[in-house]
Every structure is written in structure tokens, then in C-alpha cells.
Structure 1
Amino acid sequence: MRPLRGIALKLASVLVFIVMASLIKATAQHVPAGQAVFFRSAFAIPVIVAWLVWRGELATGLRANAPMGHLWRGVVGTLAMGLGFAGLAYLPLPEVTAIGYAAPLLTVVFAAMFLGEDVRAFRISAVALGMTGVLIVLAPRLSISPDKAGTTEAFGAMLVLGGAVFAALAQVFVRKLVYTEKTAAIVFYFSLTATALSLITLPFGWVWPTPTESGLLVTAGLLGGLGQILLTSSYREADASLVAPFDYASMIFALLIGYFAFAEIPSWTMLGGAALIVTAGVLIIWRERQLGLERAKQRKAMTP
């Protein structure tokens, strides 16, 4: 285990994913979300395959023991990605990032509902705190406004929140898949499924992107593949409970990119709500670590 290397890889993956989102946002006014999903997924595949070849894991890494599990994870994950990309056309990048933090909170709820995981008062309280933060971020966008801008922003907020719901459901499928599938297979077949599903949106208004837009979209896809590799590698180098909190560094990157690339100035309301969400997420991760240590002690005590 090399914790500092794991943290560095995690931060690199977070930065890569935020840059990827900013590239999608730069094209979102002209390129439909389904088309963006295609580029993001299709151009990630060669990067992932090249990585597996380099590691000598192509044959074993792409073996699928639960094909239907991959299919359902792909469907739900593609919906999450498409809704999130669509929301980028309506809301500032930091705001989309903050609302997206609802996904790990909702994962706790869905894991209890669908996987029978034991969720006690501490995590329930943390989820309630985090969802309060989500409501604070959403509130200005959902206020009744007669103008068109207010309506489109409310629509965008609902798109991003819907994406967070489906992202949480996708994590539930991933939790089931990890018992039988390798991480490489989960990543590869998600990209493959998302590419195929995105083509369903072809009759609904794909456009011919400009050369600049094409370059941005292809780069977003390549970065998506690179981000998955960096993320996977970070968990090889350090415990998940150590590197997971660094997901929230994405808010810092989103604020910087939003300000300098899109001239987006966050409101104090959004920052306050985001702070609550991040606090709740870190508390859940900390609690998971404590429970993991307790389980490890119990197993050690039971070992003869």
C-alpha cells in the first residue's frame, strides 16, 4: 500500500473528470446530451483497452460472469450520464457538481432498500444533513419565476438531480457486480453499453459538430477513459476509506474552472449547501471506515 500515491492518483482522476465535464459543458449549447454520451463512452474504450493490454489483463479483465448485471448497470449509468450532461447546458459547473454529490448520499438509502445493508442512526442523520444541503443548493433554482431563465434553470436542476438518483442506483448495481466481476470488466462494459445506448438518441436531434466541438468531445472521451484508469489505480494503492474523501476536491476544481473558463461566480447559498453536502459525505465515509475497522477486529478475535 502506498497511500500518498493513492491520494495523488485520486486527485488526478477528480481533476480529469472535472475537466472532462467542462469540455462537455463547452459544447452543451449545441450538441445534444445523447451525442455527448456517445463521444464520452466510445472514445474511452480504446484508452481502457490499451491500458489492459499494457497490464497484460485483456483476456481476464474483460471476462463477464454476469452479463445481465453489466447490462442493467449500463442502462442506469447511461441515464445518469445523459441527465448530468444535459444539466450542464442550464446550470453553472460548480452547481452541477454540488447537486451531483447527492449520489453517494442516495446510495446509502438505496443500498439499505435493495441490498439489505444495515443503516443505523448515524448514517441516516448524515444523509439527512446532506440532503438538506442539496435542498439549499436547489432552492434558488426551484423558486417560482415567470421568466424563461428561471424555468430553464429549474429544468436543469431537475435534470442534474435525476442524474444523481440514477448514479446512486448505478452504484447499487456496481456493489453487486464487484462480487463476481473484475473492475476492468465493469468499466469496459459500461463504456460499451453506454456507447450502444447513446445511439438510440440519434433520431432525436444529433447535430454535425464544428471541428472545435469535435475536438472537445473526442478529448472528453479520452479523458473519461484516463479518469477511470486513474480512479481504479488509486484504489489499488490505498484503502478506499482513505482516498474516497478526496472526491470532494472536485468542488475546488469546479469553482476554479467555472470562474476562469465560464465566468461563473457561485452564490453564498450554493457554497453553504455544498459545504453541508461535503460534510455529510465525509461523515459517512468516516463511519464506514470505523465499521470496517471494527469488523476487522472481530474477525481477528475469532481467528484461532
Structure 2
Amino acid sequence: MVEKRKAVIYMLISSLAFATMGAFVKLAGDLPTVQKVFSRNFISMLIAGSIVLYNKKPLFGEKKNLKYLLIRSALGTAGMLAYFYSIDHLLLSDSSMLNKLNPFFVSIFAFFILKEHFSKIQIPALFIAFTGAVFIIKPEFDMSVIPALLGLSSAVLAAGAYTTVRFLGGREEFYTIVFFFSFFSTMVTLPLMVTFFEPMNWNQVLFLVLTGIVASIGQFTLTIAYKHAPAGEISILNYTNVLFSGIIGYFLFDSIPDFLSIVGYALIISAALLIYINANNRRKKLN
């Protein structure tokens, strides 16, 4: 019970950290997305690299895992670019909720790649979740839909990255995976950042540094949470990120989701609850 309580606390801290990260991305202003992504991952690279060196582990992991680390990093970088763009152009809570569709895409990828089977509840839950996404996106079939579609694609790409992490399993330490991803993303976005670089004031520099710091806090507390309790028991708390994002968005940006977005949130969270309750019931029967 104590372990689960710790997991809940760490998961809530992680959700708050990622919601705060989104706010800092917005507060950094009208800077190129690649500049923001570079800054976020450069700071994360320094933090994760320090932890890897402190634990006397190889910075880039085992050679046999290189291919999977590269796949995870490429998908994660593309997903982060799409997510940061959506943060800049959507309500903070809308971009967060679209990104939180990634667990549903993980189950799809796991079915095709890892040969994991769908439970009876997963298929209707997927339908409900994607219906919720349509309510948030509100497709109008013009250029205005691009930020929302990129927000959705960030969930697809993140799901591919997380599926690769699941495949890596116990093959690499979590801080090695975080460092490799941060290093890869920093190197990939560096030439683009230099090309499209825009001068920043000190406030923008501060917000980008804070973006990297709170993102690292979110990543590490999320990992620690999963060490204290099974993913199936606490993963539903990931959706508190949307609540935190909505509150932060209201107070900092005076943004309120419209009725259709709120319906979409309700559908997606309901679908996640269905899967969560079903997984817990199955676990109890096995015990």
C-alpha cells in the first residue's frame, strides 16, 4: 500500500511537470518549434548524461541495442516536434489530450509488432477514444486543422517510441534511454535550429531552460512511479495532465475548452477508464 501511494504521488508530480512544460513552451513565445525542441532536449541531455556517468554506465548503451535506441529516438524526436507545434497553436488542454491518445496507439502497435492480443474491451474503447479525438479536432478540411492533426500524429509517434521502449525492456537502464533520445534529438535539431534561429530575450531563454528542467522531472518521476506500482494500476493518472493543463491554461492564457472539446475529453477518459477497470479486474481474477 505504501509503495502504491508513492507511485500515485510520483505520477501526479509527473503529470504536473509535463503540464507545466507545455505552459513554458507557450510562454517562450513565437519562436521556431525546432528551437524549442532543441532547448528542451539539450537541457535533458545534460541532466540524463550526468546520471549515466554517475552510475558509471556506457553513455550510448549496449551495441546490440543500438538499432532500437535509434528507432525510439527518431520516433520520439518527430513526435516531440509535432507535439510542441500543437502546443503553440492549440489550447494547452486540447494538445495535451490529443497527445494522451498514445496509450491507445501503443495497444495497436503492440498487436501488430509485439503480437500482443486485444482484450474484449480494447476494441470498443479504441472506437470511443478516437471518436473523442474527432470532437477535439473538429475537422473542417482546411489548413486550420493542421495543428490538431499534428497533435494527433504526436500521439502516434510517441506510441511507436514507447512500443520500442517496451521491447528494450530490461536491456537498458531508463536513464540511458532518456540520454540517448535527448542526445539524438539535440543533434538532429541542431542544424535546423541554427538555420531558423531567432534571437531571444532573457525571459524566453529562462522559459526554455525551465522547459528542459521540468520535462526531465516529468520523465524521471514517471519512470519512478512505474517502479513502485504496475503500469495498469496507475497509468490512468496520466490523464490528470489534461486537468493540470486546463487549469494552467485558464489562469495563464485565459483559455477555456469549448463544449465539443469537453465531450472529446470525456470520451477519451471514459475509454481509458474502461481499459483500466478491465485490466484491474483481470488481475484480481488471476490473483
- TM-score of the superposition, structure 1-length normalised? 0.87
Equivalent residue, structure 2, for 1:143: 140
For the 8 Å contact 1:241–1:286, the answer to whether it is kept is no
Distance 1:246 1:120, change over 3 A: closer
Equivalent residue, structure 1, for 2:118: 119
Per the TM alignment, residue 52 of structure 1 is displaced from its structure 2 partner at its CA by 5.1
Matched, 1:24 2:15: no
Between the aligned partners of 1:61 and 1:203, the Cα distance in structure 2 is 25
User: Which string of whole-angstrom CA distances, capped at 9 and with x for unpartnered residues, describes residues 200-242 of structure 1?
Assistant: 4235412122111011001111111121121111122222222
For the 8 Å contact 1:45–1:225, the answer to whether it is kept is no
Equivalent residue, structure 2, for 1:94: 93
Between the aligned partners of 1:98 and 1:205, the Cα distance in structure 2 is 29
Trace 1:2-13 onto structure 2 (pairs within 5 A): 2-13=3-14
Between the aligned partners of 1:144 and 1:185, the Cα distance in structure 2 is 42
User: Which string of whole-angstrom CA distances, capped at 9 and with x for unpartnered residues, describes residues 43-72 of structure 1?
Assistant: 01232244456xx63427863340111111
Equivalent residue, structure 1, for 2:164: 173
Equivalent residue, structure 2, for 1:63: 61
Matched, 1:43 2:43: yes
> Aligned to 2:261, which of 262, 267, 270?
270
Equivalent residue, structure 2, for 1:202: 193
Between the aligned partners of 2:228 and 2:72, the Cα distance in structure 1 is 26
User: Which string of whole-angstrom CA distances, capped at 9 and with x for unpartnered residues, describes residues 98-146 of structure 1?
Assistant: 211221111111111122111133111111111111111111xx2257x
- TM-score of the superposition, structure 2-length normalised? 0.92
Trace 1:258-297 onto structure 2 (pairs within 5 A): 258-292=249-283, 297=287
Distance 1:204 1:165, change over 3 A: farther
Per the TM alignment, residue 93 of structure 1 is displaced from its structure 2 partner at its CA by 0.2
One-letter code of the match for 2:61?
R
Between the aligned partners of 1:291 and 1:45, the Cα distance in structure 2 is 39
Between the aligned partners of 1:203 and 1:215, the Cα distance in structure 2 is 19
Q: Which one is further off, 43-52 or 106-115? A: 43-52
Between the aligned partners of 1:50 and 1:278, the Cα distance in structure 2 is 37
Report the secondary structure of 2:171's partner residue: coil
For the 8 Å contact 2:51–2:175, the answer to whether it is kept is no
Identity %: 26
Between the aligned partners of 1:206 and 1:177, the Cα distance in structure 2 is 35
For the 8 Å contact 2:59–2:180, the answer to whether it is kept is no
Equivalent residue, structure 2, for 1:148: none
Question: What is the root-mean-square deviation in Å for CA atoms of aligned residues?
Answer: 2.0
Per the TM alignment, residue 257 of structure 1 is displaced from its structure 2 partner at its CA by 0.5
One-letter code of the match for 1:73?
R
Between the aligned partners of 1:286 and 1:188, the Cα distance in structure 2 is 34
Q: Which one is further off, 116-125 or 74-83? A: 116-125
Report the secondary structure of 1:241's partner residue: helix
Between the aligned partners of 1:51 and 1:185, the Cα distance in structure 2 is 9
One-letter code of the match for 1:41?
N
Q: Which one is further off, 204-213 or 12-21? A: 204-213
Distance 1:144 1:59, change over 3 A: closer
For the 8 Å contact 1:40–1:224, the answer to whether it is kept is yes
Q: Which one is further off, 103-112 or 62-71? A: 62-71
Report the secondary structure of 1:2's partner residue: helix
One-letter code of the match for 1:111?
A
Equivalent residue, structure 2, for 1:301: none
For the 8 Å contact 1:61–1:182, the answer to whether it is kept is no
For the 8 Å contact 2:97–2:242, the answer to whether it is kept is yes
Report the secondary structure of 1:226's partner residue: helix
Instruction: Count how many residue pairs are aligned between Structure 1 and Structure 2.
Output: 285
Matched, 1:72 2:71: yes
Matched, 1:257 2:248: yes
